[in-house]
Structure 1
């Protein structure tokens, strides 16, 4: 990653942390005032997002350090490790909120001041929506797994705020109907619905990052692009060229390729030519390419 891209990544993560801090404080204060599970969850989620963004920012700076005796293959694995921590923490938060919602359902519900809660929800929808849109726009300019994780966090926060606002409007309308006695169950029911929905995003974050940590095969799109690049390089080479292994670790793409000549004799310049051709074919992928060319016997 070039210095400019690295600078942009740090700037975006810092901005995300500052915005998260505001939403975290607002959510926690309003959630406690109106005694709402979903608003408390929203505040806790924003607080966790803030802490995880700070973790991402620290990791972003540390990853840029060159290889040394302790990290002889670089620090690329720290990126999926941070994303795995993010996914695990958010997953734990959602599960905890799900448990509290179930308890509230069986203990008489929760009475909430829907007027304040609705106003807070509207403010949150607008604020989180703007942050999500802006982060998505910046992510298109600066491709990074850490920023992509931030975008997913803001997406969850925006959807959460929308559900909270709609839910409290529904609760207010319910208080005006003959079913007003059931309005106390609106808050835990919303929390239940959101918990089941939001389990997917952190689970996917955790799953994809663990695949990178364990050096498993990357997405099908990446595999197909690499395979096509190797085939094209083989057509331009006098040697037999075959893809041996490919994996993505953070912002790095590791590709191992085997080459073999028909007469078992390969000149050094032929190897270098094949390496340059492969590098050219695979350089269109938005990763730092780590290419290994092995002589097959």
Structure 2
């Protein structure tokens, strides 16, 4: 049995939020690249390219959101909910590849003797983008709060806030070093900040890849969902005096698949009674806000429940 819950209602909010993220990234990314070229700072150029790459990935999320909510068709009778974790996996792979390339470039610069950096410019840039990233993250976080795609976007903006703070602190340290006539050390600050940025950002693509991989492999849903499912089953058992059931569940994007099988004694239940159990469990699970695909069965044959 399939029920839409709140998933369909939130699809439009999800897409609006993604469009807002794209617009904000376009402004900040373009400004960073232009500023980085003018200041001849690799760390600013890296940050701008990273943000602009986020536009491509946000556009991918937007397409995934539209496809995932398009509904079943003759060719895709179960819909395209798998598009959501697939898009998140592509995001993670692309971000990880960008970080590896930037880290390799920074190492090459360090080996080559470093590079000059306009530390004052980087401090100003870091403080400005830290403020903007924090504001955008808070703004996006208010929309489509149950969306995995929006959560991925907000995580990137929050990481950007921390990253900008790292830039500002690192560049401020470079200013202090230059005052102490340690210019030879200052030459390594710019590529050093790039490496530090890569380390700060590395958990994001790794987490995206892990979470998307678990969903695509049909792993158990997150702990809050499992807890809500266990609570719903416990209430149904208490209400209808049912035995411990066999429970299976997995989450795919905004869809939650649940299978609950009770083994009962022969002659104790009819179809009408089974329907009451179904309505009780499905009603409780719909409150989670996912598109719910639930199968609730009562059987006298344990082999059919396993």
TM bucket, shorter chain = over 0.9
Alpha carbons of structure 1 residues 35 and 28: separation in structure 2 relative to 1, 3 Å: same
Structure scoring higher RCO (CA < 8 A, sep ≥ 6) equals: 2
For residue 106 of structure 2, the aligned residue among 101, 105, 120 is 101
Q: Compare 117-126 and 127-136 and name the one that shifted more.
A: 117-126
For residue 138 of structure 1, the aligned residue among 125, 139, 143 is 143
For residue 294 of structure 2, the aligned residue among 266, 291, 294 is 291
Residues in 1 aligned to 2:48 and 2:230: alpha-carbon distance in whole angstroms: 45
**Secondary structure of 1:257's aligned partner:** strand
For residue 237 of structure 1, the aligned residue among 237, 240, 256 is 240
Flag structure 1 segments of 5+ consecutive residues without an equivalent: none
Residues in 2 aligned to 1:192 and 1:180: alpha-carbon distance in whole angstroms: 19
Q: Is the 8 A contact 2:134 2:161 kept in 1?
A: yes
What TM-score, normalized to structure 1? Answer: 0.93
Q: Provide the residue aligned with 1:115 in structure 2.
A: 120
Residues in 2 aligned to 1:281 and 1:127: alpha-carbon distance in whole angstroms: 40
Residues in 2 aligned to 1:38 and 1:266: alpha-carbon distance in whole angstroms: 69
Residues in 2 aligned to 1:40 and 1:242: alpha-carbon distance in whole angstroms: 57
Q: Provide the residue aligned with 2:25 in structure 1.
A: 20
Superposed counterparts of 1:192-231, under 5 Å? 192-231=195-234
Residues in 2 aligned to 1:244 and 1:216: alpha-carbon distance in whole angstroms: 13
Q: Provide the residue aligned with 1:39 in structure 2.
A: 44
Flag structure 2 segments of 5+ consecutive residues without an equivalent: 1-5, 302-306
Residues in 2 aligned to 1:254 and 1:219: alpha-carbon distance in whole angstroms: 13
Q: Provide the residue aligned with 1:5 in structure 2.
A: 10
Q: Is the 8 A contact 1:233 1:241 kept in 2?
A: no
Residues in 2 aligned to 1:180 and 1:112: alpha-carbon distance in whole angstroms: 10
Residues in 1 aligned to 2:270 and 2:19: alpha-carbon distance in whole angstroms: 50
Deviation at 1:206, TM superposition (A): 1.0
Deviation at 1:264, TM superposition (A): 5.7
Q: Is the 8 A contact 1:230 1:243 kept in 2?
A: no
Residues in 2 aligned to 1:294 and 1:39: alpha-carbon distance in whole angstroms: 58
Residues in 2 aligned to 1:243 and 1:35: alpha-carbon distance in whole angstroms: 62
Residues in 2 aligned to 1:40 and 1:280: alpha-carbon distance in whole angstroms: 52
Residues in 1 aligned to 2:16 and 2:108: alpha-carbon distance in whole angstroms: 41
Residues in 1 aligned to 2:298 and 2:100: alpha-carbon distance in whole angstroms: 50
Q: In angstroms, what is the RMSD of aligned CA positions?
A: 1.8
1:57 matched to 2:65: no
For residue 249 of structure 2, the aligned residue among 224, 243, 246 is 246
For residue 271 of structure 1, the aligned residue among 274, 283, 293 is 274
Q: Deviations over 1:106-157 (max 9, x none)?
A: 1101111223333222221221121112112335xx4211111110111111
Residues in 2 aligned to 1:53 and 1:104: alpha-carbon distance in whole angstroms: 31
Q: Provide the residue aligned with 2:173 in structure 1.
A: 170
1:156 matched to 2:159: yes
Deviation at 1:183, TM superposition (A): 0.3
What TM-score, normalized to structure 2? Answer: 0.90
Q: Is the 8 A contact 2:110 2:191 kept in 1?
A: yes
Q: Is the 8 A contact 1:239 1:262 kept in 2?
A: no
Deviation at 1:99, TM superposition (A): 1.2
Equivalenced residues, count: 295
